[in-house]
Structure 1
Amino acid sequence: MQTIPNILTIAGTDPSGGAGIQADIKTFSALGAYATSAITAVVAQNTQGVRSYVALEPAFVADQIDAVCEDVRIDAVKIGMVANARIVEAIAGRLRRHEIGAVVLDPVMVAKSGDGLLDEDAVAAIRELLVPLSTLITPNLPEAGVLLGRAGGDWTSGDMQAALPELLSLGAKWVLLKGGHLAGSDESNDLLHGSDGTIILSAPRIATRNDHGTGCTLSSAIAALLPRYPVIEAVRLAKSYLHAALAASDQLDVGRGHGPLHHFHALWPSPSHRTTAISAHSDRAARSGSG
């Protein structure tokens, strides 16, 4: 029997359930991996935005990671919101101590609402300490600009191609540069770049406002799949999972802003099938009770 992989997420929370630790755990579970977690920050947010966050003490973040890794075999790690430079230092130290080889870094800097999730002192620490320890980094275009020290502005597909070698030179083995912010295209094109070249991963854009937690979900899906697939295949499968979760998101009615994806789209019955199943269960229960 193939062993179920154990995946660790190191990230902040989302009480509305669509992003952060909650989205990571849902994604790991949906893709057949066992979820463990270490919380970096407690975030007051919902589908409409971030109200505030409290970063946890770096020593406590480190203690959470130790508690998991000293007891549980960890096959891959996903890193999301890190909040500040001291937490980055704590995470990097624990990754080295526990010799975790498969690391997916989602350099979370800004929430979907545009609210900041990162202290200014953390960018350099992420670039210098976490990126070189990463198997794969998954920046979107604004995050890539920050990592490369570029001012904001519109990107072109040519800009994306040109940025790939610079991003790879920061030390990760692979870069997945996400093109969701690229204007003027009906396709969502992500570029996967490694030492052997670049692969373009395309999917049709889905017209929905339920896109809260897309970055968290994609990076978590890759982490869940890495123990079982080569990097290129893990990324392809993760992007396919994300696309399906977006396509099914309108089955959910959560919040009045950017709603969540449907992480369990392949596991939960559709609303009509669910009603039929509940009715059938009720009928069986009634017959059993009458007998």
Structure 2
Amino acid sequence: MIEQREGVEASQWSSGNQIERDLVLTDADFKRIRELIYQRAGIVLAEHKREMVYSRLAKRLRHHGLTRFSDYLQRLERQPDAREWEAFTNALTTNLTAFFREAHHFPLLAEHIRHKTGPVSIWCAAASTGEEPYSLAMTLLETLGPKASQSRIVATDIDTEALQKARSGVYPLEQVRKIDEVRVKRFFHKGTGKRIGLARIRPEVSELVAFSALNLLAPQWPIKGPFDAIFCRNIMIYFDKETQAKILKRFAPLLKSDGLLFAGHSENFSYISNEFKLRGQTVYTLAPHHRSSGN
């Protein structure tokens, strides 16, 4: 779901001076945007993200023929159930991901599931554009062989545009080439003709993954555990500690007693929640009181 998507859009400065704006974003507008995205998605926007906010949301204002952010925000707040809230949230979430990112996690997952006798279930809670859940599916196929077809990967994200790309399973070949050639040959179809330069995930991989939209702040999560593993990587850094603690508490009953929770390299849950215990290498297990209760 959320990770740095830095680029020229986040830098609207030239020779130390702010470039001329065609839209009006006041301090009060920026403050309100920060409040609304926190309320909707739990995302904490830092002060230095103002230029990014302008760049991302300016497209929505122009789409509606507006010139003032205050008018756009008033329109949103008058219609709490409007589809525009989805576009607002999509604009302010960021997606940087890759196949087999933080590669040390995948051998750990393989070892964890290798001797499982029943179907394996995994929840990828920040699926973004699909690279992570598809990497998990490839790991299941490599580890379990034909038995992998009985397993399931639930892949969720708040960003509906990212999920649309994930479901397509089509990626630039340059991105796919970062994977070793054996995996590329086994798990991808390379495009030809009009599709040259692209690669598509093979059906045996995509069939293991079910994508759906989910806001981790929603009062109800439309998913059922328990899972052998939960991957929640590189999203908690965008939440404050109170929100992180609430989410971790909700994760606990969805994880099997021997299940693993995978975090991102810059995330540390040890001082936030007593629900989990650090196993090592940003991998957590349920705390003893959960395991002993038969969770």
Normalised by the length of structure 1, the TM-score is 0.30
Normalised by the length of structure 2, the TM-score is 0.29
